[in-house]
Amino acid sequence: MDKIVSLCKRRGFLFQSSEIYGGVQGFWDYGPLGVDLKRNLKEAWWQDMICGHNELKQPAGAPSTYEMVGLDCTIIMHPQVWKNSGHYDLFHDHMVDCRESKKRYRFDQVRGREVTYQDRTIFVSTLAEAEQEEDDIRRRGMKFFKLRNKDADKITVGGESITIDKLDNTDNVLGPDAKTLGTLTEPREFNLMFKTTLGALGGEDDVTFLRPETAQGIFVNFKNVLDSSRVKVPFGIGQVGKSFRNEITPRNFTFRSREFEQMEIEFFCQPDQSQDWYRYWRDRRMNWYLSLGMGSESLIMREHDPEELAHYSVGTADIEYAFPFLPPGEFGELEGIAHRGDFDLRSHMEGKLDPATNPMTVELNEHGKPKYRGSGKDLTYRDEATNQKFIPHVIEPSAGADRGVLAFLCEAYTEDQQPDEKGNLQTRTVMKLHPRLAPVKAAVFPLVKKDGMPEIAQDLYGELKKHFNVFYDDKGAVGRRYRRQDEAGTPYCITIDGDTVSDQTVTIRDRDSLEQIRVKLDDVVDTLTKKIDG
Ligand code: GAP
């Protein structure tokens, strides 16, 4: 992981936000290469899921044809949205504060192990990454017991690491940044929504939130979309946009950020077909990642156990990726596909439903009135063919764009051995990004800066720029220019050499196979288009 983080900074994929001021935890900026990688991922999603979808053809595995449309909603919405969605009451994590270090941690994320010296056992906690966890615990345990390095074998570190929420109490716990025991407070609920104030007066009534998911904008516009676009159930609405969560312990590079982008679909269908649609979307989304070059051994589909599901849902599955910061064999969530029943549309219509009730009823306050008022708008759907009126059920494939970028960066990072100009094997770092995702599609090199080569190369570069993001490089040995493009993930390098001047052909070198083909100058655009679009 360290190598990937360092390459991302060195080559301009990702920077820490406000780095010159020491950075802000949980916020990341995309550099010149990163911005195009992320745009390409979002555009591939939009093209494949929304605007490229052919509603006249029944896709393999789909119960029927269906329509897809897009939406772009605001980040700040009416505060009632978050009350009825459940985020106001339920979107929280448990956190503990450290009285000594004044730091705050997520209760279920602080891991640790027992450390025993002579007849005393304490629990040493840490936030270190999996590979460094045992070393960090041992080091801090020795410091606590005031032992020197030569006495390292006098302490024993317990075998299995567990999170502190599994302990009966934290009296015997050495907090991740503490020097004394028992400094962690009891866990408390902490709402993850960022609060903000509307207008200049700033009273309690003006408080609202930055959206923690894009999904709610889709639900509250369900009727607008129905009335304005003639879509018929089954259909989906997609949205790509920023979401904000005040994560207590943002960590693992961009994996858990406080500002991030989501790519979400709310798919509305007949209740009795919802199970089939759930299965369709689950498989469709998994295959999408594979089609963009994700290795099948790096991805798993984890179906939630029936006990984890709300009773109104027939299924939820997470697509998980083997992020390198996790211990071997563990996977982290990349996307969730949830069957949400009619919970969201009914809550926005009638008032917040109590998910513990079956069948669900509106949650009441101590006066027996709805705890949160619904919009009162009719969000039912009338099927014109059957005249049947119903509240559609929803399947929600919800992906993170930043987490997607991180997973594709991790998957692409490769080191191999390749001969240099003198034939000596050298380690090459190459980002094997799928051509659709690669920020730069091709680099154009004149072999030398003379004999008419730069002029041809510049003309070709100008022509290619009309179609793709390309890069021009005439500096240094050609081998070194290749290496720089390999690190940036550029799939093709085009070299203009002595033969180009006489026969108007160029070489195109493939980043992964290193194969070189000779192509007529006039055919370069077509050849690249075919290679990139597959
Ligand atoms: N509307 C459903 C929803 O928001 P979620 O599982 O909370 O579901 C969906 O989020 C996806 O958004 C996750 O699978 C992940 O890719 C991304 N995501 C969630 N929280 C994130 C965070 N703090 N940082 C980066 N990505 C995040």
Gap from CA of 234 to ligand 1 centroid (Å) = 25
Predicted confidence at residue 508, as pLDDT, reads 97
Q: Are strands 173-174 and 120-126 parallel, antiparallel or unpaired?
A: parallel
Extract the tokens encoding 534.
């597959």
Q: Are strands 14-16 and 389-390 parallel, antiparallel or unpaired?
A: unpaired
Q: Is the CB of 259 under 6 A from ligand 1?
A: no
C-alpha dihedral (77, 82, 84, 86), degrees to nearest 10 = 160
302, β-bridge pairs: 318
Residue located via tokens 């085009």: 494
Q: Kind and range of the H or E element at 478? A: helix 478-488
Gap from CA of 377 to ligand 1 centroid (Å) = 29
Q: d(Cα 328, Cα 365) in Å, to the nearest integer?
A: 48
Gap from CA of 225 to ligand 1 centroid (Å) = 24
Choose one of 214, 258, 403 to mutate for the ligand 1 pocket test, by most ligand atoms within 8 angstroms of C-beta: 403
Predicted confidence at residue 341, as pLDDT, reads 93
Q: Is the CB of 318 under 6 A from ligand 1?
A: no
Question: What values do phi and psi take at 112, rounded to 5?
Answer: -175, 180
Which of 85-89, 204-208, 276-280, 383-387 has the largest mean confidence?
A: 276-280
Q: What is the per-residue pLDDT across 392-437, written as a single tens digit (0 to 9) for each?
A: 999 999 999 999 999 999 999 999 998 877 888 889 999 999 999 9
DSSP symbols for 168-226: S-STTEE-TT-SSBS-BPPPEEEE-SPEEE-TTT--GGGEEEB-S-SHHHHHHTHHHHH
Gap from CA of 201 to ligand 1 centroid (Å) = 33
Rounded to the nearest integer, the mean pLDDT of the chain is: 94
Residue located via tokens 């597959």: 534
pLDDT for residue 184 is more than 90? yes
Predicted confidence at residue 470, as pLDDT, reads 97
Ligand 1, atom nearest to 400 Cα: 16
Give the distance, in angstroms, between the CA of residue 14 and the centroid of all CA atoms in the same chain. 14
Choose one of 14, 216, 253, 333 to mutate for the ligand 1 pocket test, by most ligand atoms within 8 angstroms of C-beta: 333
Gap from CA of 309 to ligand 1 centroid (Å) = 17
Predicted confidence at residue 509, as pLDDT, reads 96
Predicted confidence at residue 356, as pLDDT, reads 84
Contacts of residues 375-382 at CB distance under 8 Å and 24 or more positions apart, as own/partner, are 375/80, 375/84, 375/220, 375/348, 375/349, 376/349, 377/223, 377/348, 377/349, 378/223, 378/349, 379/222, 379/223, 379/345, 379/346, 379/348, 379/349, 380/349, 381/226, 381/233, 381/268
Crossing angle of helices 524-533 and 453-465, rounded to 10° = 50
Q: Is the CB of 347 under 6 A from ligand 1?
A: no
Q: What is the per-residue pLDDT across 10-25, written as a single tens digit (0 to 9) for each?
A: 999 999 999 999 999 9
- In the DSSP assignment, the letter for residue 119 is T
Ligand 1, atom nearest to 213 Cα: 4
In percent, the amount of the chain with pLDDT more than 90 equals 80
C-alpha dihedral (362, 364, 367, 368), degrees to nearest 10 = 50
Q: Is the CB of 335 under 6 A from ligand 1?
A: yes
- Closest by CA to 342, choosing from 278, 271, 401, is 271
Predicted confidence at residue 402, as pLDDT, reads 98
Gap from CA of 30 to ligand 1 centroid (Å) = 19
What's the rounded mean pLDDT across residues 282-294?
Answer: 97
Ligand 1, atom nearest to 250 Cα: 23
Q: Is the CB of 500 under 6 A from ligand 1?
A: no
Predicted confidence at residue 313, as pLDDT, reads 83
Gap from CA of 374 to ligand 1 centroid (Å) = 26
Q: Is the CB of 332 under 6 A from ligand 1?
A: no
- The upper half-sphere exposure of residue 428, i.e. CA atoms within 13 Å in the direction of its Cβ, equals 24
Position 82: which residue type? W
Gap from CA of 257 to ligand 1 centroid (Å) = 10
Burial class (CB in 10 A: 0-12, 13-18, 19+), 216: buried
Predicted confidence at residue 524, as pLDDT, reads 95
Predicted confidence at residue 160, as pLDDT, reads 84
Q: Is the CB of 285 under 6 A from ligand 1?
A: no
Predicted confidence at residue 355, as pLDDT, reads 81
Q: Are strands 389-390 and 381-382 parallel, antiparallel or unpaired?
A: antiparallel
Q: What is the per-residue pLDDT across 245-284, written as a single tens digit (0 to 9) for each?
A: 999 888 899 999 999 999 999 999 999 999 999 999 999 9
Query: Would you say 269 and 395 are in contact if contact means Cβ atoms under 8 Å apart?
Result: yes
Predicted confidence at residue 159, as pLDDT, reads 78
pLDDT band at 327; cut points 50, 70, 90: confident
pLDDT band at 312; cut points 50, 70, 90: confident
Predicted confidence at residue 451, as pLDDT, reads 86
Q: What is the per-residue pLDDT across 425-473, written as a single tens digit (0 to 9) for each?
A: 889 999 999 999 999 999 999 998 888 899 999 999 999 999 999 999 9
Gap from CA of 204 to ligand 1 centroid (Å) = 28
- Closest by CA to 91, choosing from 4, 184, 215, 201, is 215
**Which has the higher per-residue pLDDT, 73 or 160?**
73
Ligand 1, atom nearest to 214 Cα: 1
Q: Is the CB of 93 under 6 A from ligand 1?
A: no
Ligand 1, atom nearest to 262 Cα: 12
Q: Is the CB of 474 under 6 A from ligand 1?
A: no
Q: What is the per-residue pLDDT across 120-179, written as a single tens digit (0 to 9) for each?
A: 999 999 998 888 899 999 999 999 999 998 988 899 998 788 999 999 999 999 999 999
Crossing angle of helices 401-412 and 32-45, rounded to 10° = 110
Q: d(Cα 298, Cα 321) in Å, to the nearest integer?
A: 6
